[in-house]
Amino acid sequence: MIAIPTPPVVRWRKSAQAEEGRPPLIVMLHGRGADEHDLFELAPAFDPAYAIASVRAPIALPEGGYTWSESRAVGRAVPESLRASLTWLQRWLDSLSAGRADPQRVYLMGFSAGMAMASALLFDQPMRYSGAILLSGVLPFDTDLSITKGRLTDVDVFYAHGSFDTVIPRDLADRTATYLADRSGARLEARTYPIAHEISVPELADITGWLARH
């Protein structure tokens, strides 16, 4: 298995809110072949009250960029590799709270392979997070994660996919959408956009609107 570096490389935006209490945090997880700068370009669209942490995935790719786990095929993570990255990320998240008594609202935001990683965090500890923004990817099916009926009950989830996306296998995209809508128990807002494997301006507006309501 590929060795995972520690600690993670993170690009931060501080919150503009007053110091009283801990600001809400958005943890951004990029797609395969990208890095911590990719989703961070969207930061200006988000309310400045949010702190943002854009994390670089731990596995360097020969062709450049990084990814979250080894894969058998697109959308099909190697379970042991995904679990190693999951444990690594959870350890980092734990470090943010070390010695702090005041709670913090944490939202996960993952795109493509980053959606699988965000979903893995969510399914492993669903009550730990205030919500998740899952974009243009699939859930980590066929791993050791408990993707069972009602697993995300009372969890706020925004899920979006492009109708012209040819990167994500259609069977896995359909399986993901069906689970989230019919079996997850999540308080779900699901959107489909006439786009390819990308994040559009209308989609970003819907994401920030969703955050404002939650």
Question: What confidence tens digit (pLDDT) does each residue in 29-55 have?
Answer: 999 999 999 999 999 999 999 999 999
Q: Say what the pLDDT of residue 3 is.
A: 60
Question: Which domain range does residue 123 map to?
Answer: 10-213
The CA-to-CA distance between both ends of the chain, in Å, stands at 39
Backbone angles phi, psi at 157, to 5 degrees: -135, 130
Task: Note whether residue 5 is domain-resident.
Answer: no
Task: Note whether residue 3 is domain-resident.
Answer: no
3-state helix vs strand vs coil in the chain, percent to 5: 30, 25, 45
Which residue positions in the chain have pLDDT lower than 70?
Answer: 1-3, 5, 18-20
Nearest to 155 by CA among 173, 128, 120: 128
Find tokens 């392979």 and name the residue.
113
Task: Note whether residue 2 is domain-resident.
Answer: no
Nearest to 139 by CA among 115, 166, 165, 167: 115
Q: Say what the pLDDT of residue 5 is.
A: 63
Tokens of residue 94, six digits:
């734990």
Task: Note whether residue 182 is domain-resident.
Answer: yes
Q: Say what the pLDDT of residue 196 is.
A: 98
Q: Which domain CATH number covers 69?
A: 3.40.50.1820
Question: Total domain count for the chain?
Answer: 1
Largest CA distance in the chain: 47
